[in-house]
Amino acid sequence: MSAARFDLAGPLPAGTTVLEASAGTGKTFTIAALVLRYLLEAGTPMEELLVVSFSRDASRELRERVRERLVTARDGFASGRAHERDEVLQRLLDTDEEERRERLRRLDVALASFDAATVTTTHGFCQQVLATLGTGADHDPAAVLLENPRDLLAEVADDLYLRKWGLPGAPPPDMSRKEFLDLASAVAQDPATRLVPGPDAPEPAGQRSRIATAVRGEFEARKRRLRLLDYDDMLQRLARTLTDTTSAPAAKARLRRRYSVVLVDEFQDTDPVQWSILREAFHRYRTLVLIGDPKQAIYRFRGADVHAYLNALSSAEAVSTLPTNWRSDALLLRGLDAVFSGAALGDPRIRVVPVESTHAGRLVPAAAPVRLRVVTRTDRDVLKSGLLSTAVALPAVVADVAAEVTGLLARARLHPRDGSADRSVEPGDIAVLCRTAKQALAVEEALRGAGVPVVLSSRSSVFASRAAQEWLVLLEALEQPHRATRVRRLAVSAFVGLTAEDLDAPDALRRVDDLALALRTWALLLEERGVAALFEQVSLAESLQPRVLGQLGGERLLTDLRHVTEALHRAAIEGSLGLTALLTWLRRRRAEAEGDEGQERSRRLESDAAAVQVMTVHTSKGLEFPVVLVPFAYSHWSRTNPSSVVFHEGDERVRDVGGPTAPDWQRHLRDHDAEETDDELRLTYVALTRAQGHLVMWWAPTTNTPAAPLHRLLAGSGPDGVLPQRLDVLSDAASVEQFRERAAASDGGFAVEVVGSRELQAWKPTPPPPPQLELARFDRPLDLLWRRTSYSSLTAAAHEGMRFGSEPETAQKEDEADLPVEAAHNGEAHLHDVPSPWSELPGGTAFGTLVHAALEDLSGDLRGVVTRAVGRYAPGLAPDGLVAALESSLATPLDLAGGVPLAAFEGKDRLAELEFELPLAGGDDPGALEVLLERLAPLWRRHVPGGLLSAYAAALAHLAPPPVRGYLTGSIDAVLRTGDGRFVVVDYKTNRLAPYDEPLTAWHYRPAAMERAMIESHYPLQALLYSVALHRYLRWRLPAYDPAQHLGGALYLFLRGMVGPGVSASDGSAPGVFSWQPPPGLVVDTSDLLAGTP
């Protein structure tokens, strides 16, 4: 069917309509205008409109633009006038008075009910529909969205790999772990694609097919078992619901009642499953408008399938094109018409057609707006094939890019379209679009060397940045500090900052040896305290911050270094990764970023807007820039040795997982390569159409050029615009002549230039005018003793060295470190035969947090409380064992509470998680006072001269925390009010006081063992500080408060030793229950000490 030009002010689309766009033709503007017209002309209520896009950013922009369009229309109706170029609003106003009032009413209602509009992503729409259909769909309402299934998929792959080749007696593996993981990732994240060959294919292809099927099945089963849902699941389940004979009729009817008009943006990025959902739900039954540009279908590697778009195109009842380009100058468009020359981008139905421009002037009135810079073979090493290697061509192109940028900054002028005065082209006006992150890094380095402010786009992965490379160098050096090459590479990295000249100096060997020695210390720090502590230590030792910030682009580099640090720290904690595993994790993330598949996006800085933007073509989609440079479209890019290949049989997407020995692998590989090459054509279209006023491209005769997209466009032609897959590279002179013949038809829009030698001039920006205002200087002295501290911070030096920074606002409950135990002796021997109900339960920080969470609320059903806590903190742990263990602990008698167990305390007599902040030496107004905590040891000796915990005075004397002012913060696990009106501090401990190879019994929690554990962990200090907090709280809240009468002591409940009633030590106390009654005078004197009382 022939496509007509779409008139936005013409008849409203009805039925299924495809609006085919081109770059810059205003898809979002069109959607917003159509929403306005459906609301006001057709009377469609806001809640019956569905607007769908394919990314969160796009749907956010759509929502903002639609609301902005409604507000503008409301202003127009209020004034009775529309802007002369706003044909849509003029049409809406061009009606009788009564209809105008009705349209104004509809507009007011639409704005008031705008939150009811469904403007969302495809996945968001599927999630909403599944939730609405409830039991009528394959939906688990308790499932949690798994935004990035990468780690779960790796876990599934590793399990299957070990199950097949890791068991005793198993044969040697036929695949490396990496190859296995690559295959697993490909098939599991592309669940709708048919797999070939079948499981009965000759080996090893048949085995690979069975593995692929097993991975898909196990991945799906594990997600269901863990109640996880990824984006593919949403699509697959809704598609099944809409095609199932039982659920489909009711589901379709519900959707058609809910929505009468559906508009889909960026439809070229759809896939067969998404199109089947829209087709089954709305095609031929509701107004369905599909807006997309198949020439920009570039997300094939993520599962998008332009064949689904073409399938919808053939099913549509009407097809129209958006004819006007709102982005680029008219002469630039004529230059692009000469470049593309009506080419078909991978399919005869995807043709580049001319579009009109609304900008007759020149944004950048320099030479031709489209320029091709040709790198020749002159004075360069030529291979036997007569072509250049990519390794020779790339530095030549990168150097010319840097020279071009500095030349534009020095000489080019920009004529703003808003009528303001001409100005020089600035760094922020320029974008350099690269195919890979590696190319982007090379351009960034060259521009930085020329003194040009440059930034890798904040929309690209931080793992593709220089900072990730610097971290890789550091981790490699930490892994093998004995290898001089790795140490020297680290020495010249951003972390250390030496230069090549430094490494050639007489003392270079000593400096490298010192760094190798430091690496061993840093590796130990990484093992003990994690990535964040390592980064802080290296930063301090090597003066990282001031040194980096003093460099051009230092703010960006430091921000990215910190961003990568956070990602590494999080990965290390969540995956319990050691150094080697962490290094592997970072390498994998960098490999994913090479394909623009990274999830961690680099953070945007305010200074980025004033720098040249260097980004991948994928990142640039949807953006526009006054000046665009495309240096690498001369080179064909492809993935080598793929684990599987994707191709099409007709319109069906198929994945061959059989590998090189599979019967049809070579044919399928050729089909796959052909589709990849077509994808490169569309990527080049995206790159070249980002420019508003000036575009510069590069061509070089390399071994990768014959199949390269730019070469195919400039040197090829064919029936229906279909280009050959490869074209021979002619001589330099013939190639230049061929390109100039193409440029001759552009009316001056396209020019060809031969790259010669030109000296790179460092760019020197025009100095800004002197400021009229000057920032005030901060000269107030800082009180370096003031801080928020806690028991954990005060004792940190005794355990692991001082922590960096202040205490966090909220602390995580720790499963405290397990302690060494004494050799068995005859004392309390009867407790050896009493097993701990906690012996089979895990340890760790997450488990400690889980136990504390379960003990916060004892007023209801214990099993329910534990089940909810397990779901939050330890998914996959069976709650039965923890419930049984807690029941025993809760039933254990507490001697300071008159033998009453914890379970018997009602809510009115039990206060959980009493948080406190105690002023130290005046708090916010400390004056000259300071708390000298070294005075605690003499206080302890005076008040506790003998008996229980008297030995702690010596440990306290060695603690020696520094003087402090400010606040002491903490949270008491519980405070109990006993029957005689006394108040008892309770703290829960989950320490395991037995070796892991020894069964855990009540004997390990006898009084002597607990006292030793208390002293070694400085718990007596914690008990004293918590008693001071309780003392101050009661002094404030309790009338006639008397410390001697109302302070009931401290109970430290070692939960793993609390085995229930009927078991006691020789002194009558229950195992696991450590009871201590601090002398009231010690509590009062310590409170005075903390207050700074002399």
Q: Which residues are annotated as a binding site?
A: 21-28, 852, 973, 987
Cα gap 911→171, rounded to integer Å: 60
Cα gap 929→927, rounded to integer Å: 6
Q: Is 671 a catalytic residue?
A: no
Residues 115-151: b if buried by 16+ CB within 10 A, e if exposed:
eebbbbbbbbbbbbbbeebeebbebeeebeebeebbe
Ramachandran assignment for 932, one of left (phi > 0), alpha (psi -120 to 50 degrees), beta (any other): beta
Angle at CA of residue 30, ends 29 and 35, nearest 5°: 100
Cα gap 416→420, rounded to integer Å: 6
Cα gap 952→928, rounded to integer Å: 31
The alpha carbon torsion through 339, 343, 345, 350 (nearest 10 deg) reads 130
Cα gap 393→375, rounded to integer Å: 8
Judge whether 567 and 554 are in contact, CB under 8 Å. Answer: no
Burial class, 945, CB count within 10 angstroms (exposed 0-12 / middle 13-18 / buried 19+): exposed
Judge whether 1007 and 1074 are in contact, CB under 8 Å. Answer: yes
Cα gap 204→197, rounded to integer Å: 11
Beta bridge partners of 812: none
Return the closest-CA partner of residue 104 out of 62, 147, 70, 57: 70
Cα gap 814→325, rounded to integer Å: 60
Beta bridge partners of 615: 433
Return the closest-CA partner of residue 280 out of 233, 235, 220, 229: 235
In the DSSP assignment, the letter for residue 228 is E
User: What is the 3-state composition of the chain as percent helix, strand, coil, each rounded to the nearest 5?
Assistant: 50, 15, 35
Alpha helices in 689-764 (DSSP H): 709-715, 732-743
> In whole angstroms, how far apart are CA 534 and each of 479, 603, 615?
14, 22, 30
66: its two tokens: 């639609």
Return the closest-CA partner of residue 921 out of 968, 959, 987: 968
Known binding residues for Mg(2+) are 852, 973, 987
- Which positions ≥6 away from 937 have C-beta within 8 Å? 953, 954, 956, 957
Return the closest-CA partner of residue 1021 out of 1050, 1043, 1056: 1050
Cα gap 496→511, rounded to integer Å: 11
Which strands sit side by side in the sheet containing 652-656, from one edge to the other? 194-196, 652-656, 645-649
In this structure, the chain runs to a length of: 1094
Return the closest-CA partner of residue 1052 out of 1002, 985, 983: 985
Cα gap 517→550, rounded to integer Å: 27
Burial class, 642, CB count within 10 angstroms (exposed 0-12 / middle 13-18 / buried 19+): middle
- Which positions ≥6 away from 37 have C-beta within 8 Å? 12, 88, 91, 92
Judge whether 321 and 20 are in contact, CB under 8 Å. Answer: yes
Tell me how far the alpha carbon of residue 994 is from its chain's centroid. Answer: 41
Judge whether 40 and 119 are in contact, CB under 8 Å. Answer: no
Return the closest-CA partner of residue 653 out of 270, 1008, 165: 270
Judge whether 890 and 1055 are in contact, CB under 8 Å. Answer: no
> Which of 269, 293, 987, 1085 is the catalytic position?
987
Cα Dmax for the chain: 104
Which residues are marked as active site? 987
